[in-house]
Amino acid sequence: MLIRKFQIPQKIWKDKRIPKETKYIYSYIYTKGFDRIITDINIGEIQQTIKIKNKGLKKSLDILEQLKYLAYQEYATGMYTITLN
């Protein structure tokens, strides 16, 4: 059985403009959406691993969207469709 490691792009860890919590959120989204371009997440999934509220998640997603790491759309409260760039 072949075990694959998820390779988070190293450029995000070196980017000083991104807060540490936002980097953790990106790594969660990246591993969940591995081998897919579009993924759906909700705040409840992320809250199981990272202590965050919906307002904080939205702020982190805004930062990542401005820096062109992903694009997101909130289709219901706390539910997001995310496209990785």
Does residue 3 belong to any structural domain of this protein?
A: no
Please report the pLDDT score of residue 28 as a whole number: 87
Does residue 1 belong to any structural domain of this protein?
A: no
Residue 78, domain CATH? 1.10.10.10
Reported confidence tier of residue 11, pLDDT bands at 50, 70, 90: confident
Helix and strand tally (H, E) in the chain? Answer: 4, 3
Does residue 6 belong to any structural domain of this protein?
A: no
Q: Considering its fold, how many domains does the chain have in total?
A: 1
Does residue 2 belong to any structural domain of this protein?
A: no
Q: How long is the chain?
A: 85
Does residue 41 belong to any structural domain of this protein?
A: yes
- What spatial distance separates the first Cα and last Cα of the chain, rounded to whole Å? 30
Is residue 70 scored above 70 in pLDDT? yes
pTM: 0.83
Please give the helix or strand (H or E) that residue 22 lies within, else none: helix 20-32
Percentages helix, strand, coil for the chain (3-state, rounded to 5) are 40, 20, 35
